[in-house]
Amino acid sequence: MNFRMWVAGVCAALVFLQVPAAAVAKQDGGQSGPDLAEHAVSAVMMDAATGALLFEKNSHQKLAPASITKIMTMLLAVEALEQGRVRLEDRIRTSERAASMGGSQIFLEPGEEMTFEDMMKGIAVASANDASVAVAEFLAGTEAAFVEQMNRKARELGMRDTHFVNCNGLPAPGHYTSAYDIAVMSRELVKHSQALRWTSIYEDYLRKDSDRPFWLVNTNKLVRFYQGVDGLKTGYTEEARYCLSATAKKGDFRVIAVVMGEPTSSVRNAEVARMLDWAFQQFEFVKLYGAGDVVGRIRIEKGVPERAAVVVKETVGILLRRGETPGDVRAELRGRPAVAPKHKGEEAGRLTVLRDGRTIAEVPLYLAEDVRKAGWWEMLARTWRGWIGGRP
C-alpha cells in the first residue's frame, strides 16, 4: 500500500489519527447531522481502534442500562481468565442467591456446578442473571466485592457517568451509566478475542448430555442477521426500555454502536443496523499495525540486546472520511529511561503523534522481548567499539 509506505518513510513507526471534529454527527438536545437513532433516548457510534466518536445523541445522559451492565461483568471475567485467576474448565458452584435472581437466566439450581466457560456462554448469549452472580461470587467472594471491582474499573476507564450497584443490570436505585460510557467499556471488551468468541455465538447448548439440556439463543439477533456483527450485549427492563451495544467489523474497520431507551426490540435493531451502515459508508480505516506488531526499537542501558523491540497491544491505524487525505502527520518514538534487566510486556515508552504540529495521540509501547543485563566483558567491548567508532 503506497500510503503505508509513505507513513513508514516519515516516521518508521505508526500513525494514530483521530477523526476530525467536523466528522462527528452530534445530537445533544437537537439535531445537527444524520438522523440515525430517531427513537433512541441516547446513542453513540465509536471507532473501536481510536475511540473517536462518529455519531452521538445525548451521549452523557445517565440512564438505567439493564443487562448491558454485563459488558463490565464479562470484561472483569475475561481479564481474570487472561491473568490465570480462573480457567475455562474450572467448575463454579451456584449459590442460593445466584439461583434466585430471576429474569433472564439459564435456570441454575442451588449447588449446581457448571464450568466457567459455560457460565460465560450463559452470560454472553442468554444474558443470564443467575450465571452473572455465580461468576461474580466465584471471582470476588461476594457480588458486592465484585461490584466494587466493576466501579473501580469504570473509574480506570474514565467512565464518569457510571455507577454500578449489581453485576447483572436488574433494576436498582443508583445503578446507571451512559451511552458514551457503554461504548468505552465495549471498546475495552472487544480487545479480548475470547470475549468475542462468546458474544458471537448465535446458538448453543448447555447441559447438552444431561436430562436438563438448555438451548442458548443469542438475544442480539444482529449476530445472525447483520454481516460482521460479533457482539456485544442487549438489555431490557421496563425502566431502561430496549438497549443494545453492538460491534461489527468489516476488513480492518471495527465500530461500536450503542442505543438506549428504544421503544421496541425491532426498532432498536433497525436503528443500530442503520448506524452501522452509515459508519461503513462514510469512513474507512487504514490499518498500520495489528496487536503485537513491532513498531520500532528503543535503547535499554546496559541491556542485551542494546536496542529492544517494542510493540503495540492493540490494532492501530488511521480513521478517515472516505476521500480524505491525512495531511501533515509525523510521529516521534520516545523510550523511557531504562536500565537492564527488563521483562517482556513492560511498558517501555510512548509514541507521540502530531498532525499539523499539534499532538493528537500518545500511544503506549511495550517490550516485545526480555532484556538481560550485560556482563562486564560485554560492556567493555561496547566501550571499545564506541571509542574506535569515535576516532577521527
Average pLDDT over residues 269-275: 97
Output the pLDDT for position 361: 66
**pLDDT at 339 exceeding the cut of 60:** yes
Cα dist. 96→122, 130, 155, 167, 339 in Å? 18, 10, 31, 16, 53
Average pLDDT over residues 322-326: 80
Q: Residue 354 burial (CB < 10 Å; 0-12/13-18/19+)?
A: middle
Report the alpha-carbon angle 20-261-38, nearest 5: 55
Q: Rounded distance, CA 85 to CA 69, Å? A: 22
Output the pLDDT for position 30: 38
My answer on whether omega of the bond before 364 falls inside 30° of 0, hence cis, is: no
- Phi, psi of 232, deg, nearest 5: -125, -60
Output the pLDDT for position 172: 97
Q: Rounded distance, CA 16 to CA 295, Å? A: 12
- How confident is the model over 214-254, as pLDDT tens digits? 999 999 999 999 999 999 999 999 999 999 999 999 998 99
- How confident is the model over 25-48, as pLDDT tens digits? 444 443 345 789 999 999 999 999
Domains 2-17+290-389 and 34-282 share a fold: no
For the chain, which residues make up each domain, given as ranges? 2-17+290-389, 34-282
In this structure, of 99-103, 278-282, 338-342, the range with the lowest mean pLDDT score is 338-342
> Among 219, 214, 263, which residue's Cα sits nearest to residue 245?
219
Q: Which three cell numbers stand for residue 34?
A: 444524520
Average pLDDT over residues 250-270: 96
Contact criterion met (CB below 8 Å) for 73 and 167 = yes
Q: Which three cell numbers stand for residue 359?
A: 499532538
Contact criterion met (CB below 8 Å) for 125 and 204 = yes
Cα dist. 333→216, 343, 366 in Å? 48, 20, 12
Output the pLDDT for position 6: 37
Average pLDDT over residues 187-211: 95
Average pLDDT over residues 256-264: 98
Average pLDDT over residues 85-90: 98
In this structure, of 94-98, 134-138, 176-180, 286-290, the range with the lowest mean pLDDT score is 286-290
Q: Rounded distance, CA 83 to CA 252, Å? A: 27
The model's pTM is 0.85
Q: Rounded distance, CA 216 to CA 204, Å? A: 5
Output the pLDDT for position 332: 75
Output the pLDDT for position 17: 40
**pLDDT at 277 exceeding the cut of 90:** yes
In this structure, of 56-60, 244-248, 256-260, 387-391, the range with the lowest mean pLDDT score is 387-391
Cβ atoms within 10 A of the Cβ of 375, count?
Answer: 11
Known catalytic residues are 67, 70, 127
Contact criterion met (CB below 8 Å) for 248 and 226 = yes
Contact criterion met (CB below 8 Å) for 263 and 39 = yes
For 34-282, CATH gives 3.40.710.10
Confidence at 200, pLDDT banded by 50, 70, 90:
very high
Cβ atoms within 10 A of the Cβ of 189, count?
Answer: 25
**pLDDT at 390 exceeding the cut of 60:** no
pLDDT higher for 209 or 380?
Answer: 209
Q: Rounded distance, CA 59 to CA 245, Å? A: 13
**CATH architecture group of domain 2-17+290-389:** Sandwich (2.60)
